[in-house]
Structure 1
Amino acid sequence: MIRLIGAGTRPGRGERVLDTFWTIPNLITILRFFGVPLFVWLIVQDNYGAAFITLVIVGSTDWVDGYLARRLDQVSAAGKWLDPVADRLALIIVATVFVVDRIAPGWFILAIVIPDIILIINSLVLFCGSPNLPVSNIGKIRTALLLVGAPMLLLQKVPGFDYDWLAVAGNTVLILGCIGHLAAFVGYMQASWRKYRNRQVPAAKDAYGA
């Protein structure tokens, strides 16, 4: 798992952040946005096989766009906020659909949505927008676990794959992902308050002419 984090990074090369929006990684992230409503529509149609494939593709793009950004030296300022937004949106919608369709228990949506709502409110209050914090390794592992556990539960709804072990394994991975989600939540809250306090110190010095 750790070796997958940061994959595509070229040793000895510093990160160059592009100002342009139109990069290959950002286009892949946009495809992820379109994949989420397609997934919801397939679930509504009870087409669980196609929904499973769509969810796997949507989940894989989270790794692919980051890999290509580093490998092709196409890390962009837009991508740094667009990718986390796509992750949050996908997780919240997938969690909601899973609970409504009774694919996952109710605690799943509570563990995903409530921390994200608190983070959004915290960011708006402290920064009037995104705090532009780097994604932590815990956050990346959390996302990977959730995007593996969710398809495992969904696969059990596909005819011919209704195995009990899939439910057990899927729920286990989701629980680990939710624990990671809460750990990442605590880390981001601490980092945002630390960044806010560091910004306030120079402002206070300027105000008093220090």
Structure 2
Amino acid sequence: MSLPNLITLGRILLVPIVVWAIASGEVQLAFWLFLLAGVSDAIDGFLAKNFGMQTELGAYLDPLADKALLVSIYVTLAISGLLPRWVAIAVVARDVMIIGAIMLSALMARPVTIRPLVVSKVNTTVQIAFAAMVLAAEGFGVSLGSAFHLGLVAVGLLTALSAAAYLAEWMRHVAS
């Protein structure tokens, strides 16, 4: 077990704590824990890439940790009334679609290797930034004003574009 993998496991263990913090109204704590998770993601990636600590386990754990955190936060923020439910549904549906396509490809004996697309990386960055903004605004009592609506539109559009791009890639793979 490498140090980056241990850091990633720690990030996975933070997920239920962040969910609890949001659900309990401890949004400021949730913000700081979310920030800690983001910093840990950068550190484990840096260590793995720059010190030859990349592992097959880490290649699976890192995106799992990222998705578990993002999906959990969006669902919890929506249930808590801090985000409209549609945005959480969009975030979850995209990930379910991708996982479903991977599983279907495996069942069809046509396994697909998913590599992050540029639109997906941008989408993840915007989802993280928007979740952090919402947590910070709620936790510190700051109004986001029109930035909230702009963030919703950005997350919604990028999530849809990312889902469509992965679907197109998958369809090309299955058709070949």
TM-score when scaled to structure 1?
0.73
User: What's the counterpart of residue 179 of structure 1?
Assistant: 157
> Which of 41, 65, 68 lines up with 1:89 in the alignment?
68
1:101-120 matches, within 5 Å, as: 101-120=80-99
User: What's the counterpart of residue 145 of structure 1?
Assistant: 126
Q: In percent, how many aligned pairs have the same letter?
A: 25
List gaps (5 residues or longer) in structure 2.
Answer: none
* Counterparts of 2:61 and 2:145, CA distance in 1: 32
> Helix, strand or coil for the counterpart of 1:157?
helix
1:31-50 matches, within 5 Å, as: 31-50=10-29
Larger CA deviation: 186-195 vs 95-104: 186-195
Query: Cα gap change, 1:80/1:69 in structure 2, threshold over 3 Å: closer, same or farther?
Result: same
User: What's the counterpart of residue 168 of structure 1?
Assistant: 146
Q: Contact 2:11–2:40 (CA<8 Å) still a contact in 1?
A: yes
Q: Give me the CA root mean square deviation.
A: 2.2
List gaps (5 residues or longer) in structure 1.
Answer: 1-21, 199-210
Say how many residue pairs are matched: 174
Task: Report the CA distance between 1:179 and its aligned residue.
Answer: 2.2
User: What's the counterpart of residue 77 of structure 1?
Assistant: 56
Moved over 6 A (4+): none
Task: Report the CA distance between 1:197 and its aligned residue.
Answer: 4.5
User: What's the counterpart of residue 67 of structure 1?
Assistant: 46
TM-score when scaled to structure 2?
0.85
Q: Contact 2:87–2:155 (CA<8 Å) still a contact in 1?
A: no
> Helix, strand or coil for the counterpart of 1:143?
helix
* Counterparts of 1:72 and 1:52, CA distance in 2: 30
Deviation readout 1:8-51 (Å, 9 max, x if unpaired): xxxxxxxxxxxxxx222222211111111010111232212111
Task: Report the CA distance between 1:136 and its aligned residue.
Answer: 2.2
> Quick check: which has more Rg, 1 or 2?
1
* Counterparts of 2:132 and 2:80, CA distance in 1: 14
> Larger helix proportion, structure 1 or 2?
2
